[in-house]
Amino acid sequence: MTEKTKWRRFLSSLRGYVTFFLLIAFIITCCMELFLHAMRSSMDITYTERGIRFAAILTFANVIILSLLFTVIDGLRRRFTVERPVRRIVEGAEKIMRGDFSARIEPFRGIGGEDGFDIIIGCFNRMAEELSGVETLRTDFIANVSHELKTPLSVMQNYGTMLQNPELTEARRMEYAKAVTEQSRRLADLITNILKLNRLENQQIYPDAKRYNLGEQLAECLLNFESTWEEKNIDIETDLEEEVFVKSDGELLALVWNNLFSNALKFTESGGTVSVTLRSEGNYAVVRVSDTGCGISPETGKHIFEKFYQGDASHAAQGNGLGLALVKRVADIVGGDISVESEVGKGSAFIVKIRRAANGEIQKNP
């Protein structure tokens, strides 16, 4: 809570106490004035005791009337300053319970300005806004997953139907079987990535940090794609600085390198180039994975790490839009940073910065 908010709450409470004090003082003064007036009026009565009794009864009746009057006034006050905002909050909460996350409560401005109910209403509206955003993400995620699952299943179903044709040539049969295999692999990769992303996003991950040579890990991961770059006739350029050590979770970082290498080779045309560099820059190890592929626009670059986002529709069939979301999540978990530099038609470069280890221990923050 900010100092300004605390000060406003203090002034609001002070106004309430002063108002209540003045009200009570006014009631007591009125009662005393009525009693004294009745005493003066009773002096004309022969018997003093009888006059005092009359003054007491009259004063008591006036107190009853004043108490009733102020009870009515206080009831009206509570109706407008307590019951009405409470009713608004309850109605808003019931809408949220029914799944209407668009529910918002209008702020209630009392005579003294913002009060406790306005603070509660403000928190409620912010909560509803957050829930609405989460619900939108959930709905979009389900829609995207359904779409991504439906596409390979439809392709597999179509090719499976054509494979049942007894007059199909052997060449065609092999072609269709290969298409079914590719789509099943794509489906398996999608499910694997969904499970990995769900685990990374919905569980508290504690990286198993160990000191190791980052250059060696990059080389090992890159060699796993040797058949891919040879099949597409892609040139591989590497410039890995030696003896660059990091203290991090090697299994998690392997997800980063595998996804970046896979994307670079996937979007680079035959005869293109994919380069991997590793440099030490101060306390950081900087990995740069570049390609000569189609590139991405600045607008696409703003959303490239979002789940299921695919800026280039012509290449949508080659991926499921989860790889870079995984990369970003892993980078956050291990305390790294990832960015992208790209130009349409000239290729892309993904830069990953990880704090490196020195003398067997990870360096402290500068």
CA distances 267 to 196, 321, 328, Å, are: 23, 13, 19
CA distances 91 to 95, 103, 104, 114, 313, Å, are: 6, 9, 10, 21, 44
| Local confidence pLDDT in tens for the 366 residues of the chain | 566 666 766 676 667 667 767 777 777 777 667 666 666 665 554 445 666 666 667 667 776 777 777 777 777 777 777 777 888 888 888 888 888 888 888 877 655 445 677 778 888 888 888 887 767 666 766 666 676 677 678 888 888 888 888 888 888 888 888 888 888 877 887 777 677 666 666 555 667 788 999 999 999 989 888 888 988 999 999 999 988 999 888 888 888 898 899 889 988 888 899 999 999 998 899 999 999 988 887 777 776 777 655 554 444 444 445 678 778 888 888 888 999 988 888 889 999 999 988 654 544 433
Whole-number Å distance between alpha carbons of 6 and 263: 52
Q: For residue 82, count other CB atoms closer than 10 A to its CB.
A: 14
Buried b (16+ CB within 10 A) or exposed e, 187-208: bebbeebbebbeebeeeebebe
Q: What is the pLDDT of residue 213?
A: 93
CA 239 to chain centre: 38
- Amino acid found at 268: T
Q: What is the pLDDT of residue 119?
A: 79
Q: What is the pLDDT of residue 349?
A: 92
**pTM of the predicted protein model:** 0.52
Whole-number Å distance between alpha carbons of 236 and 265: 10
CA distances 124 to 88, 114, 233, Å, are: 11, 15, 58
Architecture category of domain 210-362 in CATH: 2-Layer Sandwich (3.30)
Whole-number Å distance between alpha carbons of 32 and 39: 10
3-10: list long-range contacts, CB under 8 Å, 24+ apart: 5/119, 8/113, 8/114, 9/114, 9/116, 9/119
Whole-number Å distance between alpha carbons of 29 and 61: 15
Token match 């509803």: residue?
128
